[in-house]
Chains A and B, each alone.
Chain A
Amino acid sequence: MQKGTKYALLMAAIPFVTLVFALPLVNRIQPLVLGLPFILFWILSWVIMTPLILFIAYTLEKKFNAPEEGDEE
């Protein structure tokens, strides 16, 4: 596996950890954040963070992986 792919997979693990495996820890209403129950706030924040996380994964892949044929526009 190329180094960039490895880093990208590590980034991709973040939404799975926060949005699946952390759920038992965040299943509560208090504290309210921005008027939202805590569980909804938590889920929403990580969903909104996902594009940023994937963008970083994209950048890492580009930086550390050898360019592959068929990757051009």
Chain B
Amino acid sequence: MNSALIIIFATIVFSSLLGIYAGRKLKMNLENWTVGGRRFGIIIIWLLMAGEIYTTFTFLGASGWAYSKGAPTFYILIYGALAYTLSFFILPALWKVGKRYGLHTQPDFFIKRYDSRPLGVVVALIGVFSIIPYLQLQLAGLGLIVEEASNRAISSHVAIVISFILTCAFVYTSGIRGAAWVAVIKDIMMVLAVAIVGIGVPYIYFGGFGKMFRALMEQRPHHLVLPGATAHMDVLWVMSTVLLTGLGFYMWPHVFGSAFSAKSAKIIKRNAIIMPFYQIPILLVFMVGFTALLVIPGLENGDMAFLALVNKTYPTWFMGFVGAAGAVTAMVPSAILVLFASILLAKNVYQTGFNPQASEERVMRLSRLMVLVITTFALVFAIFLPQELVFLLIFGYDGVSQFFPGVVLGLFWKRVTKAGVFSGIIAGIGIVVLLILGGRDPFLGLNAGFVGLIVNSVITISVSLITKPSVGGFKFSTKE
């Protein structure tokens, strides 16, 4: 047994036990399981949101893009800052509505605001279809990291099965609170790993950032300006992509839902202020990718750049530490994705769509059953059909972004109607599917999801203006 193996295994087991322990004293009803009883303070909300956002893909993808694509990778640094700025206005308003009406999920909001169960079911289904490939991506990343870091002592399949079953165990017992507690370990380990490697490698090979960049500019003068090493990821592509991902960011059902777990609207607003600080580690991840391009050029898969360079530079036990950090970095978002996919299916597809009379206990039991079902399916796909779902991924961000007009106009504009939002979402999704399947992404240099979102917004607004407003029992402010 090597030291890397022990570190990885111990971290996975310890994190899961902590996650299970997190829920020990709580009676698990829907409110505690999904939104943590709406009791999370600023630190835990910050760690939870960072836990959802900084995934294995950030780790491997941001360095991989820096390595293989160059400047287009900077978009990852930008869109978070835009998303947090928007969330400063959107999330507190959303939190208040959530508190007033006891909402747990994103479809809950649509159902309440637009007084429409069919709309809720459609939003829930689009949400689940976007979550599943995203979950697959986390599992694939986890397998890759652990297999590499343990020097193939643990195969990717074994790593995926063990850590995902443990993850689902703490989702089952503790719900979102379990994920929040494990996020603490994840954040400490990931930030340490990124800081050590990101500051370390440019220094070890070149004597500092500046010298590393100068060497890179001499060898590849175009790598560090757009479109970098790519053909069509130019300025316009970056502009439309950061706008789309910045707007779409909080429209992911799991990120949207976590906003409800804050203690107050003020907490969620203050959280928006400090979130951008979490972007700084991404800069260090870029440094690793750029250094890798100079030190180990010619890797077939750029996403391996981070791990390959760590392997070349550091001792085995540190590789184990990076592997362990990578594993928990996949476990936290996976936990939240499974949690929200389960609750969307149980509450907003089953209860909303088929059995509105179902009791809360029944929905809770069904949600937990769904955790087991999704776990099983995700494992089967990850092991036997790893490639089958990857194509769905490109639809994920483009798909959830189409909720943006319905959420934002729904919160701030009384005139927006059910018919408007319904037709806008359908049109937006339709455009995205057509463009992507027709091979027209990017379209005129613009991101396909962005084109869909523009059409969606225009249709939502114009259809709303010609249909009769209906807000059901929905109140916009406590003062009414």
Residues of A participating in the B interface, judged by any CB pair closer than 8 Å: 8-9, 12, 15-16, 19-21, 23-24, 27-29, 32, 34-37, 39-40, 43-44, 46-48, 50-51, 53-55, 57-58, 68-73
Contacts and interface: CB of A to CB of B under 8 A. Distances in A.
B273 interface: yes
B340 interface: no
A53 to B, nearest CB: 8
Contacts of A16: 82, 85
A40 to B, nearest CB: 6
Contact of B239 (A21, A34, A53, A71): A21
Interface in B290-317: none
Given A43-B74, A54-B85, A72 B264 contact: yes
Contact of B274 (A9, A27, A51, A71): A51
Given A39-B226, A43-B78, A32 B273 contact: no
B389 interface: no
Contact of B99 (A9, A24, A48, A70): A70
B330 to A, nearest CB: 25
- Main SS class of interface, A: helix
B74 A39 contact: yes
Nearest to A53: B85
B238 interface: yes
B210 interface: yes
B263 A39 contact: no
Interface stretch (B133-141, B181-189, B277-285, B401-409): B277-285
Contacts of A50: 81, 84-85, 276
Contacts of B78: 19-20, 43, 47
B208 interface: yes
B219 interface: no
Contact of A51 (B208, B265, B269, B273): B273
A40 B280 contact: no
Contacts of B224: 29, 37, 39-40
A20 B478 contact: no
B266 A73 contact: yes
A58 B263 CA distance: 18
Contact of A20 (B71, B88, B239, B477): B239
Contacts of A46: 81
B276 A47 contact: yes
Contact of A48 (B235, B264, B276): B276
A73 to B, nearest CB: 6
Nearest to B202: A35
Interface in B76-122: 77-78, 80-82, 84-86, 88-89, 96, 99
Contacts of B466: none
23 contacts: A8-B89, A15-B81, A15-B85, A19-B81, A20-B82, A23-B226, A28-B225, A29-B221, A35-B210, A39-B71, A40-B74, A47-B81, A47-B280, A48-B276, A48-B280, A50-B276, A53-B85, A54-B85, A58-B269, A58-B273, A70-B96, A73-B266, A73-B267
A9 B412 CA distance: 14
B272 interface: yes
- Which one of B71, B235, B273, B279 has the highest number of Cβ atoms from chain A below 10 Å of its Cβ? B273
Contacts of A20: 78, 82, 239, 242-243
Contact of B478 (A8, A23, A55, A69): A69
A27 B210 contact: no
B479 interface: yes
B225 A55 contact: no
A69 B265 CA distance: 10
Contacts of A27: 71, 225-226, 235
Contact of B266 (A12, A23, A55, A71): A71
B283 A44 contact: yes
Contacts of A70: 96, 99, 264-265, 478
A39 B77 CA distance: 12
Given A37-B213, A70-B99, A51 B85 contact: no
A19 B276 contact: no
